[in-house]
Amino acid sequence: MHGQLFPSSSPITRRSVLLGGAAVAGGMALAPGLTGCATAGGGEATYPLKFWHLLSGGDGIVMAGLVDQANKDNPEFFASQTVLAWGTPYYTKLAMASVGGRAPDVAIMHASRLPGYAPGGLLDPWDTELLAEFGVREQDFPPRVWEKGLIDGKLYSVALDAHPFILMYNTDVAEKAGALGPDGQLVEITSPEQFVEVASAMQAVTGKHGLSYGYLGDGAQMWRLFYTFYKQLGAEMVLENGKEVQMDEEAAVTALSFIQQLLDDTIATRSGDYATAVAEFVNGESGMFFTGVWELPTAKNSGIPFDAQPIPTLFGTPAAYADSHAFVLPHQSAPDENKRREVYRFVSELFKGSIEWAGAGHIPGYLPVVESDEYSELIPQAHYASAADVLNYDPPAWFTGSGSDFQTYFAENVQGVFLGGDDPAEGIRGFVRRLNALLAKPNPVAKG
């Protein structure tokens, strides 16, 4: 999910791909003559569209193919891509482009970052009637996914996908541990005690660990698991500027204490990093793996027998941490109406072709794809697709979301808890104090 920074004024060439690692399929480079409205076959106007995103690696390859196909099938537009480095560089450049009048026609951002951009005037809202004209309607998305794009009743983002935190498991190890049901999938696990029992049984099979989970030095990994369990406890977290954090300390302590129980160097490594956890699982040295859907290609390429599902509901309320790659309209003071119409056409084409996006592990946001026979044949994707119905994004605030410092602040206060030495209550209180300091400040990227 991390990429190389490419200058926005430069086309993506074979050389830049080889140097930067963002693989590109045909049709992504800027075509000569498309700096203005060119002429396509039949005399139709072709509108050049500037499309920014932060997708590299395998995701970048798939997106390149989708854009290439959309360009091929639609002579009305030609979309050229600019790939920027994941995280702060991307979001800073996107904000500066919107403020400075150099915004692209369409961009992808994480849905969790929306509260820091839309209220400040950095994004333009989508016209839902025009989206519907191109076959993209509210009923075509899971409610939580669609609603995340709404701010003050206006739609500012439309999600290409949901990418939740899930549970992968080695089916051979699970079978030997007696943890497979008659359908060949993991038995239903409904309590923390039962999860520990299953993990311990798998550890007895592998002789190393029952569960892989890497987090050391990785605030995002810590937050994903914590927030999943926190929300399963039915707890809320409210971050409102000018007010103190509203957080359920008891639920937070319960979630952290359970994570400490898992990280005992038997069920799971107490001080493992993410790369070590991935290697451990794909080498068959553990039975289960807490990870994101983006690791699906890695698991498949390893050749191990595995399946996946939403993280079991251990604390009563089905919930999973997730984010979405979502399409947004960076603010333009005087957009060309005809050109913007082609943006809607372009985005609708990517939604309709997102069965290819599902191959990378993401759950397509567009339900006609998820509900298709073709998607039902994708395993394990079809086995964890229901996570889209119970997903939870970061609590809305200008400083939260993927690639922000929010998860770093979490790590600064709770990594010692994960390692087993620090008190969960003190860790959470330190995190709350840090958030209270942020809530006392205005949004620094708000326009104007």
In Å, what is the CA distance from 351 to each residue of 345, 347, 366, 369? 10, 6, 6, 8
Contacting residues for 402 by C-beta, under 8 A, at least 6 apart: 110, 112, 113, 220, 323, 394
Q: What is the pLDDT of residue 3?
A: 33
Look at 431 and 27; give whichever has higher pLDDT.
431
Q: What is the pLDDT of residue 26?
A: 32
For 398, phi and psi rounded to 5 degrees? -70, -20
158 three-class SS: strand
Q: What is the pLDDT of residue 120?
A: 83
350 three-class SS: helix
Q: How confident is residue 44, by pLDDT bands cut at 50, 70 and 90? A: low
Query: Is the Cβ–Cβ distance between 210 and 277 less than 8 Å?
Result: no
Please give the model's pTM, rounded to 2 decimal places.
0.89
Interval 185-241: pLDDT, tens: 999 999 999 999 999 999 999 999 999 999 999 999 999 999 999 999 999 999 999
Question: How far is Cα 285 from Cα 279, in angstroms, rounded to an integer?
Answer: 9
For the chain, which domains are there? 14-160+324-389 (3.40.190.10), 164-322+405-439 (3.40.190.10)
The letter for the amino acid at 350 is: L
Interval 208-224: pLDDT, tens: 999 999 999 999 999 99
Q: How confident is residue 380, by pLDDT bands cut at 50, 70 and 90? A: very high
Q: How confident is residue 21, by pLDDT bands cut at 50, 70 and 90? A: very low
pLDDT for 37 beyond 80: no
Q: Name the CA dihedral angle for 428, 433, 435, 438, rounded to a multiple of 10 degrees.
A: -170
Q: What is the pLDDT of residue 403?
A: 86
Q: How confident is residue 38, by pLDDT bands cut at 50, 70 and 90? A: very low
Q: What is the pLDDT of residue 445?
A: 65
Q: Which of 11-15, 69-73, 320-324 has the lowest mean pLDDT?
A: 11-15
Question: How far is Cα 273 from Cα 260, in angstroms, rounded to an integer?
Answer: 15
Q: What is the pLDDT of residue 20?
A: 32
Question: How far is Cα 433 from Cα 245, in angstroms, rounded to an integer?
Answer: 8
Question: How far is Cα 423 from Cα 253, in angstroms, rounded to an integer?
Answer: 9
170, two tokens: 């080695």
387, two tokens: 């996570």
Average pLDDT over residues 149-164: 97
Q: What is the pLDDT of residue 123?
A: 96
